[in-house]
Amino acid sequence: MNITRTARMNNQEIRKWLTTSRLALTASIREKYSGQIRQHFMTWFRQFTLEHPQSSCRIAGFWPIKEEPDLIPLLTELDRQGHELSLPCITKQDSPLEFYRWTATTPLQPGQFNIPEPQLSEKSLPADIILVPTLGFTRHGHRIGYGKGYYDRTLADLHEKGHVFIKIGVAWDEGEITVPYTPEPHDIPLDYILTPSGLHAPLK
């Protein structure tokens, strides 16, 4: 169920609406949709690697929480193919995330907010592709998360340091925001939005 109410909603109300829509998805539907998301990414990634030939690619993923799309089978396959995978870690509150190496055999431990993080792992180099957990999105590539600002700070920090990377928001189609929404001044638009219906380039 996309947000289509006509009344102006603040960001807190939008998050509440998005969360309700996400919770309405059954486990079997989420599993089906997650498979579609993984398939769409691999279709795009195969073309990406043809256009950017290199021995391996650095990809930052995330461990699913709060009924998020499950990318673990995708990350496992990318690891098998020899690409460098990483997962985000919260090392300091109100600071950018740090990414640590992950493989299919890396042990995990609960981090901040009880999110699994790589244990006894080395810090990863900046990723070529960052898969960003996305609660809601607009067709112009603006993203709304859980309100803690970790990814906003992280993406801004990487840009300020001159890193070049592709930002792909991962969401359910039900997360599309169609009511008036004004992004925060610090928000950085996504390069693509990955949903069960496909990989979408934002409208210009």
Is 22 annotated to bind a ligand? Reply is no
The answer to the question of whether 98 is labelled as a binding residue is no
Is 150 labelled a binding residue? yes
For residue 33, say whether it is annotated as part of any ligand binding site. Answer: no
Percentage helix, strand, coil for the chain under 3-state DSSP, each rounded to 5: 30, 20, 45
* Strand-pair category, 192-195 with 198-200: antiparallel
Burial per residue of 63-96, b for 16 or more beta-carbon CB atoms within 10 angstroms, e otherwise:
bbeeebbbbeebbeebbeeebbbbbbbbeeeeeb
Q: Is 149 annotated as a binding residue?
A: yes
Establish whether 145 is an annotated binding residue.
yes
**Does 143 carry a binding-site annotation?**
yes
Q: Phi/psi at 101 (nearest 5 deg)?
A: -55, 140
CB neighbour list of residue 137: distance below 8 Å, 6 or more residues apart: 143, 144, 169, 171, 175, 176, 177, 190, 193
The answer to whether the annotation marks 147 as part of a ligand binding site is: yes
On whether 100 is known to bind a ligand per the annotation, the reply is no
Q: Is 68 annotated as a binding residue?
A: yes
Known binding-site residue numbers for substrate: 68
Known binding-site residue numbers for ATP: 143-151
Known binding-site residue numbers: 68, 143-151
